[in-house]
Amino acid sequence: MRIVAIANQKGGVGKTTTALNLSACLAAKGCRVLLIDLDPQANATSGLGIAQEEEGSLYPCLVGDAQPQSVIRSTRLPNLSIIRSHQELAGCEVELAQTGHHLTRLRDVLHPLRYTGHFDYVIMDCPPSLGVLMTGALAAADELLVPIQCEYFGLEGLSKIVQIVQQIRESGANPNLALEGIVMTMFDSRMNLSQQVVNDVRGYFEGVVYQTIIPRTIRLGEAPSFGKAIIEYDPSGKGAQAYTSLAEEFLARHGAPAAVASAA
């Protein structure tokens, strides 16, 4: 099982869109995926058409003794499970910050999942901030996937997240945290700037940036309002094709899980 944090402290970069749709596309290919919504805004939760109930987030696990298995829920998509979010996680930030182990608490909570054999990938949608939940996710993850939009300010956000990764490593909380990949999002083929940003990022992070580029499309923006992943909402559209391609590239980097490989 691999734990993947999808994070960028800058909002509006396609982070939740990527977490939700990459999870759905991996599940469609036979991978057993657990999507954890760590953002108190709960956009990944509502984006799958799931209600934000008062119970069901990681809150009781992080501040109490509840086990993560108790808050895992199935979704209508085969192979995809979720731990929902709720606004109570915002209060969790304050409570965890007052403890002496806030940086490693999430890692400890998720550790038992590694031995259940239930999931191939755990994908965490992190809040767009530098708070306890995001840094805790980086301490718990095996690797980090960073979505950045194809705009100038995306480059600034990328440099900051790279600094945070280095700090997490040096702190000893997660010395093996890997920058697994960078996904370019919101690409507009009509703008020269979009291609320039892609070229700049690929030049600086050679071999890290995914070849798949996520386009800016109306359908990708519409799908969450219908509570659907893009492969449900517009399965033949450019957005679905892009995220399917991203999932394939992701699996090519990691090696397909045994169940997926045997079915191929």
Per mean pLDDT, which range of 32-36, 121-125, 194-198 is the poorest?
A: 194-198
Q: pLDDT-derived band of residue 206, with 50, 70 and 90 as boundaries?
A: confident
Is 25 within the bounds of a domain? yes
Is 54 within the bounds of a domain? yes
What's the domain range around 184? 2-256
For the sheet containing 178-187, what is the strand order?
73-74, 80-83, 33-37, 121-125, 2-6, 143-149, 178-187, 209-215
Is 57 within the bounds of a domain? yes
Question: What is the pLDDT, as a whole number, of residue 228?
Answer: 96
DSSP β-bridge partners for residue 80:
33
Q: Please check the confidence at residue 204 and state whether its pLDDT lies above 90.
A: no
Q: What string of H, E and C letters represents the secondary structure of 193-207? A: HHHHHHHHHHHHCCC
Is 261 within the bounds of a domain? no
Is 263 within the bounds of a domain? no
Is 47 within the bounds of a domain? yes
List the CATH number of the domain containing 105.
3.40.50.300
Q: Which residue is associated with the tokens 């949608």?
A: 125
Selected residue with higher pLDDT from 212 and 200? 212
Is 264 within the bounds of a domain? no
Question: What is the pLDDT, as a whole number, of residue 11?
Answer: 83
By the 8 A CB rule, do 231 and 240 touch?
yes
Q: Which of 18, 13, 217, 256 is nearest to 5 (CA)?
A: 18
Is 262 within the bounds of a domain? no
- Run of H or E including 22: helix 15-28
Q: How many domains does the chain have?
A: 1
How is the chain split among helix, strand and coil, in percent rounded to 5? 50, 15, 35
Per mean pLDDT, which range of 23-37, 62-76, 145-159 is the poorest?
A: 145-159
pLDDT (tens digit per residue) in 185-203: 988 877 778 888 888 888 8
* CB atoms near residue 69 (< 10 Å): 12
- Residue 64, classed as helix, strand or coil, is coil
pLDDT (tens digit per residue) in 109-118: 999 999 889 9
Selected residue with higher pLDDT from 38 and 206? 38
Q: Please check the confidence at residue 55 and state whether its pLDDT lies above 80.
A: no
Averaged pLDDT of the chain: 90
Q: How many percent of the chain have pLDDT more than 90?
A: 64
Q: What are phi and psi of 175, to 5 degrees?
A: -65, -15
Question: What is the pLDDT, as a whole number, of residue 135?
Answer: 92
Selected residue with higher pLDDT from 189 and 260? 189
Per mean pLDDT, which range of 60-64, 228-232, 234-238, 259-263 is the poorest?
A: 259-263
Q: How many percent of the chain have pLDDT more than 70?
A: 95
Model confidence pTM above 0.85 = yes
Cα distance between residue 257 and residue 264, in whole Å: 11
pLDDT (tens digit per residue) in 79-108: 999 999 988 888 887 788 777 778 889 999
Q: Please check the confidence at residue 261 and state whether its pLDDT lies above 60.
A: no
